[in-house]
Amino acid sequence: MNYFFSEEQEMIRELAAKIAKEKIEPIAADYDESGAFPWEIVEILAKSDLFRVFIPEEYDGLGGGILEMSLVVEELSKACGGIALAYAASGLGAIPIMLFGNEEQKKKYLPRLAAGEMLAAFGLTEPDAGSDAAAIKTTAKPDGDEYVINGTKQWITNGGEASIYTVIALTDPTRGIRGSSALMVEKGTPGFDFGKKENKMGIRGSVTRELVFQDCRIPKENLLGREGGGFLVAMKTFDQSRPGVAAQALGIAQGALDKALAYAHERHQFGKPISSFQGIQFMLADMATQVEAARTLTYQAARTIDAGARNVAKISSMAKVFASDTAMKVTTDAVQIFGGYGYMKEYPVEKMMRDAKITQIYEGTNQIQREVIALQMIRESMRKKG
């Protein structure tokens, strides 16, 4: 299959695949068990320059975009969707700085993110504000040349491990979500602490925690974009980050398919490899077809964003919905092909099935994504009529 990658993109993909196979796959089960943060892998990714791929060259990056980031996430996710998330979530955290940061803010953080010296994270979700992101309650009260942040962000990937956090908080609660702003908070700022570490079903090789703010003072220069523009920062960030989630789902699905295919050759029943049975063959064929379709859509979304298209919400959401639904289906089928062994932790596919589930939920549930897709469709058709 030719995906029309540049030589450099092919190089990125190959290197990420090598790290996934040689360094991540052997330890994926251990991290799944322990739930520890995979610093040893982050270090390898940093040394290999993989954190540089999506950062502009003027900030010590290699000047790629969302496609390059997605290729890395896909390859890493083939070995472990959890460990890959440590990388992907830092990418998510870097996006608002790249999109909305001023020169000074970019210079301060992007070179260090590119070098992998620090990780980034993004915080929007709260206990009572999930799909209804406009319901956030965290406040950032302007006070002289500072903001004073109070509130709690929930289920934040890389929480406690990342050094720089972009959080959305209400700088003017009277205006509701139109009074929200995106603020960068460094780990170690007084009044900024981390809550409990979540005990998750899957992606256990990544860390998910609460961000707790109690009279946390940050300088006003940490504002990203304009005051009142917080919701826009969040939405534009997600438009660009969704192909990353799609790539994670795609990698998990491909990883499960590879395992299922290999197992179907090895496993003998009725005196034959089970790959010789049509029931299994049809399953494998469907899985492969779905994965290939998800891949095409994911790359298309990434390439659309990298080409600088204006309205990317629809294609971005389509990629996320389709790839994550595919991952859930393909990993479930992979467990089925493995039969009883598939249900056991000694084999890798049950973990993949657990890892896949989150991709249908986070960075906007698939139901919210469908709403985004439909709304843009309706808007487009109205525009044509008018």
Partner 1 sequence: MNIVVCIKQVPDTTNVKINPETNTLVRAGVESIINPFDMYALEEGLRVREQHGGTVTVLSMGPPQVEEALREAISLGVDEAVLLSDRGFAGADTLATAYTLAAGIRKLGGAEIIFMGRQAIDGDTGQVGPGVAENLMIPHITDIRKIESIAEDGTIIVERMLEEGYVRLKTSLPVLLTVVKEINEPRLPSLKGKLAAKKKEITTYVEEDLDLDSERIGLTGSPTWVQKIFTPPKPAGGKLFQGEAKEAVAALLAELKSAGLPLGAKEADNGID
Q: Which is nearer to partner 1, 49 or 227 (CB)?
A: 49
Q: How far is the CB of 49 from partner 1 (least distance, A)?
A: 4
In 3D, which of 161, 156, 202 has the Cα closest to residue 31? Answer: 202
Of 75, 126, 350, 363, which is the active-site residue? 363
Which residues make Cβ contacts (< 8 Å) with residue 58, sequence separation at least 6? Answer: none
Tell me how far, at minimum, the Cβ of 86 lies from partner 1, in Å.
17
Q: Please report whether residue 27 would count as binding partner 1 according to CB under 8 A.
A: no
Residue 185 bridge partners (DSSP): 165
With contacts defined by CB under 8 A, name the span among 7-15, 120-128, 218-226, 312-320 that binds partner 1.
7-15
Regarding 20 and contact with partner 1 (CB under 8 A), the answer is: no
Residue 30 engages partner 1 in binding (rule: CB under 8 A):
no
Minimal distance, residue 8 CB to partner 1, in Å? 7
| Angle separating helix axes 366-385 and 313-338, nearest 10 degrees | 140
Single out the residue of 2, 5, 6, 12 in contact with partner 1 (rule: CB under 8 A).
12
Phi first, then psi: give them for residue 321, nearest 5 degrees: -60, -50
According to the binding rule CB under 8 A, does residue 15 interact with partner 1?
A: yes
Rounded to the nearest whole angstrom, what is the least distance from the CB of residue 48 to partner 1 in the complex? 5
Write out the binding residues for partner 1, residues 237-256 only, by CB under 8 A: none
Helix, strand or coil for residue 218?
Answer: strand
255 CB-near residues (< 8 Å, 6+ apart): 77, 78, 79, 81, 348, 352
Does residue 78 touch partner 1 according to CB under 8 A? no
Does the protein bind partner 1 through residue 62 (CB under 8 A)?
yes
Strands (E) in 198-267, as ranges, are 208-219, 223-224
How many positions of this chain bind partner 1 (CB under 8 A)? 17
Using the rule CB under 8 A, give the single segment among 4-12, 27-35, 90-98, 375-383 that binds partner 1.
4-12
164 in contact with partner 1 (CB under 8 A)? no
Nearest distance in Å: CB 11, partner 1: 5
Site for partner 1 in 355-384 (CB under 8 A): none
Q: What is the DSSP string of 267-312?
A: -EETTEEGGGSHHHHHHHHHHHHHHHHHHHHHHHHHHHHHTT-S--
CA distance 229 to 152: 20
Using CB under 8 A, pick the residue from 18, 107, 196, 272 that binds partner 1: 18
The whole-angstrom separation of Cα 283 and Cα 85 is 28
End-to-end CA distance of the chain: 42
262 is an interface residue for partner 1 by CB under 8 A: no
Nearest to 306, CA basis, from 144, 90, 67 = 67
**Is 363 in the active site?**
yes
Distance in Å, CB of 108 to partner 1, minimum: 22
Q: How far is the CB of 12 from partner 1 (least distance, A)?
A: 6
Contact pattern for partner 1 over residues 32 through 51, marking x by CB under 8 A: ------------x--xxxx-
Alpha helix positions (H), 80-201: 81-100, 103-114
Point out which span in 9-17, 101-109, 247-255, 285-293 binds partner 1 (CB under 8 A). Answer: 9-17
Closest CA to 364 of 247, 256, 246, 226: 246
Q: How far apart are CA 67 and CA 299, in angstroms?
A: 6
Please identify every residue annotated as catalytic. 363
Enumerate binding residues for partner 1 (CB under 8 A). Answer: 7-8, 11-12, 15, 18-19, 22-23, 44, 47-50, 52-53, 62
